[in-house]
């Protein structure tokens, strides 16, 4: 069988063996319910406490009781937006988010708008950086929450989180950040960066799918969105997913430990990829910030052809990439992120996201770029659009 190459690590990663080893005993040996009062329950509770401590320490939370487990990044984002908007309704019904947020944020905002809330969507510049002057302009007396993602999942741009955190506090507004793509790529210090609420997820950092967490600084009010039990200090009902929580704790701890080493590896791979691409392919552009970025996400628009066609032909060669975020990859609409960055629809339609992971090698890149070059030439030969005219 031909070798398969996975360049879609921003969509999800495999579960590392150290994470799996942490999880496995929780399925058949330490299988108690952490809410139970007997020894089985207490053992499970100790596992959950350990994971909470690991996450709190990785993000420099003041206390581990500021970490709440969720079913993933999507639930954490929904909870942050709706839970805070509702809890502070008496102060105002206005929130501010960036235009390039993940749909977990944008769709939650749309639901709030149906309830009569107002949402301001702050534009970004062509690099994908939130325009700080526009952000300041958007904040009003009745604004309760600002949400700006730490790292964009499609183009990899890193926002000025510390500046935004400080600004929110100067204006007495709560600051939430979606750090799903940032954890493991950046040092996240919730105290230093003045982050009040932060979403994370397991499956982007070699942890399991269907698990995440929301950091909520003590003192911040947040309404529940899932009721039905006294778990998570009465904030989120439902029996805790102990194996996945154990996995998340380990994954966050490891991701935080190997941070600079991983980014250095990805920096070298990125440079290599770009030099190979320049040698073999013409008429394309790189999207996202040139420097203020994570190193493992590369978003490239190939002029004159469709990203979906590139993706499918690469897939036939055993090479996995994506056209944007995994959650919207089945939609044929141009990416809202690229659109917000001012990229024309016909250019955005030709975009591919390559995202490296722990297993990616230069040999993978050699194969991927060689196949890509053949595919781009083939598609352009049958495309009615002229790549050179962009
Ligand atoms: C920036 C961002 N936020 C939120 C999510 C959703 O996380 P999950 O897949 O854990 O629900 C993702 C996943 O793609 C993401 O990239």
Mutate to test the pocket of ligand 1, among 102, 107, 353 (most ligand atoms within 8 A of CB): 102
What integer pLDDT is reported at residue 331 of this predicted model?
60
Same domain (yes/no): 218, 103: yes
Do 165 and 277 belong together in one domain? no
Nearest to 47, CA basis, from 67, 28, 30, 70: 30
| 327: annotated active-site residue | yes
Going by alpha carbons, the residue nearest to atom 7 of ligand 1 is 73
Confidence of residue 384 (pLDDT cuts 50, 70, 90): confident
Spatial distance between the Cα atoms of 377 and 154, rounded to a whole number of angstroms: 25
What pTM value is reported for the model?
A: 0.96
**Can you tell me the mean pLDDT for 327-347?**
83
pLDDT confidence bin for 330, thresholds 50/70/90: low
CA distance 348 to 12: 22
Cβ atoms of residues 283 and 85 within 8 Å: no
Instruction: Reply yes or no on whether the pLDDT at 307 is more than 80.
Output: yes
Give the mean model confidence (pLDDT) for residues 170-174: 98
Q: Among 187, 88, 99, which Cα is nearest to 138's?
A: 99
Question: 247 with 324, same domain?
Answer: no
Contacts of 352 (CB under 8 A, 6+ apart): 299, 300, 302, 307, 310, 311, 321, 322, 323
How confident is the model over 67-106, as pLDDT tens digits? Answer: 999 999 999 999 999 999 999 999 999 999 999 999 999 9
Verify whether ligand 1 is closer than 6 Å to residue 73 (CB atom).
yes
Nearest partner of 357 among 221, 260, 235, 265, judged by Cα:
265
Instruction: Provide the pLDDT for residue 333.
Output: 78
One domain for residues 178 and 57: yes
Tell how far the Cα of 90 is from the centroid of ligand 1, in angstroms. Answer: 30
State the alpha helices, DSSP H only, in 225-361.
231-234, 242-257, 259-280, 307-316, 336-340, 345-348
**CATH, residue 81:** 3.40.640.10
**166-180, 253-267, 328-342: segment of lowest average pLDDT:** 328-342
Give me the residues paired with residue 351 across strands: 301
Q: Relative to the CA of 77, which ligand 1 atom is closest? A: 4
What was the pLDDT predicted at 85? 98
CA dihedral 289, 295, 296, 302 (to 10 degrees): 40
- Ligand 1 center to 389 CA (angstroms): 35
pLDDT (mean) for 120-129: 98
Which domain-ending residue is among 238, 257, 276? 257
How many CA atoms lie less than 13 Å away from 60 in the CB half-sphere?
9
Tell me, yes or no, whether 351 and 375 share the same domain: yes
Residues paired with 70 in a beta bridge: 212
pLDDT at residue number 325? 54
Judgement on whether residues 316 and 343 belong to the same structural domain of the protein: yes
Percent share of the chain, pLDDT over 70: 96
Res. 190 pLDDT band, cuts 50 70 90: very high
Ligand 1 center to 214 CA (angstroms): 13
């Amino acid at each position: 069988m031909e070798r398969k190459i996975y360049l879609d690590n921003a969509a999800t990663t495999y579960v590392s063996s150290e994470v799996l080893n942490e999880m496995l005993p929780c399925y058949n040996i330490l299988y108690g319910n952490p809410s139970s009062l007997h020894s089985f329950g207490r053992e499970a509770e100790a596992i959950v406490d350990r994971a909470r401590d690991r996450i709190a320490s990785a993000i420099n939370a003041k206390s581990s009781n500021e970490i709440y487990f969720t079913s993933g990044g999507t639930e954490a984002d929904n909870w942050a937006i709706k839970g805070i908007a509702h809890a502070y309704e008496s102060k105002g019904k206005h929130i501010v988010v960036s235009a390039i947020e993940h749909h977990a944020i944008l769709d939650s905002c749309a639901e709030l708008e149906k309830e009569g809330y107002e949402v301001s969507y702050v534009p970004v510049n062509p690099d994908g950086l939130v325009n700080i002057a526009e952000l300041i302009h958007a904040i009003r007396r009745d604004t309760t929450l600002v949400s700006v993602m730490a790292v964009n999942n499609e183009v990899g741009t890193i926002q000025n989180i510390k500046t935004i955190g400080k600004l929110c506090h100067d204006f007495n507004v709560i600051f939430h950040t979606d750090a799903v793509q940032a954890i493991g790529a950046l040092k996240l210090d919730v105290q230093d960066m003045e982050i009040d609420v932060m979403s994370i997820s397991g499956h982007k950092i070699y942890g399991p799918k269907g698990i995440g967490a929301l950091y909520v600084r003590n003192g911040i009010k947040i309404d529940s969105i899932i009721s039905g039990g006294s778990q998570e200090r009465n904030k989120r009902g439902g029996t805790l997913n102990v194996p996945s929580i154990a996995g998340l704790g380990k994954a966050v701890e490891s991701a935080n430990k190997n941070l600079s080493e991983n980014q250095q590896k990805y920096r070298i791979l990125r440079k290599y990829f770009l030099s190979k691409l320049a040698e073999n392919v013409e008429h394309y552009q790189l999207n996202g910030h040139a420097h203020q970025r994570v190193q493992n996400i590369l978003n490239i628009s190939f002029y004159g052809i469709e990203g979906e066609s590139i993706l499918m032909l690469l897939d036939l060669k055993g090479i996995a990439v994506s056209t944007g975020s995994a959650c919207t990859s089945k939609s044929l609409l141009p990416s809202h992120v690229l659109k917000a960055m001012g990229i024309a629809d016909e250019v955005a339609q030709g975009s591919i996201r390559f995202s490296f992971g722990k297993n990616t090698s230069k040999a993978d890149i050699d194969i991927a770029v060689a196949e890509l070059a053949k595919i781009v030439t083939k598609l352009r030969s049958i495309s009615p659009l002229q790549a050179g005219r962009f």
